Amino acid sequence: MRAIDGTIELRKDEPTMQLFASSLRISLVLMLLCGVVYNLAATGIAQTLMPHRASGSLIEEDGRIVGSELIGQTFTEPRWFHGRLSSIGYAADGSGTPNYAPSNPDLLERARQSALDWQAANPDVPLSEVPLDLVTNSGSGLDPDISPQGARVQIPRVSAATGIPQAELEQLVERHTAPRRLGLFGEPTVNVLELNLALREAASK
């Protein structure tokens, strides 16, 4: 705004430039706070309080990273405990699974084929004893855990393939069964990778 000969002249470019400068400053400050300071603070706190989880809950064996507690792996040989089905092959960069309705023919066919595959690989265990988590996909396709019953029904096959007595495998499953969180939340689970690492150690004795 400028006075000329007693009159008032408005200059429209001045408020516009001031608004642009203010917006730019606010944007830069927010980018610094939210994009740099917050992330560094959150990472630093996580690495200090829970370094294992903050680094991806990685599992090491003999100093070598063999997997993560959070992402399943494919085990198909009879001597291993098998995890849940995964439509994406446990590819962490493509999490997800076909979102079929219960009435979808493709889902029914997939479940039927899963049941047939189970019967072929585990002829000593009736299909009626198999929990659903072994013949259905998880929502993410990455689930690393199975139910304790899902591990127990595989014991006859694993015992026959490894020569480890079933009673010893029962104890192995029991030792690697995680209880409900705080005794209340969720269900007991067995991490398949950790169980198979313990199985390999037991088989080498």
**Pair 76, 18 in one domain:** no
Domain limits at 150? 57-203
CA atoms within 13 A on the CB side of 62: 2
Reduced to 3 states (helix: H, G, I; strand: E, B; else coil), residue 131 is coil
CA distance 81 to 72: 12
CA distance 108 to 171: 35
What token pair was written down for 1?
Answer: 């705004």
**Pair 98, 191 in one domain:** yes
Cβ atoms of 188 and 147 closer than 8 Å: yes
**Pair 42, 89 in one domain:** no
**Pair 115, 198 in one domain:** yes
**Pair 35, 125 in one domain:** no
The total domain count for the chain is: 2
Sign (positive or negative) of CA dihedral 47, 52, 58, 64: positive
Q: What are the mean pLDDT values of the chain's consecutive 10-residue runs (205 residues total)?
A: 50 69 88 89 81 74 83 92 88 77 84 88 89 85 93 96 95 94 86 95 85
Give residue 181's pLDDT.
83
Give residue 5's pLDDT.
53
**Pair 28, 103 in one domain:** no
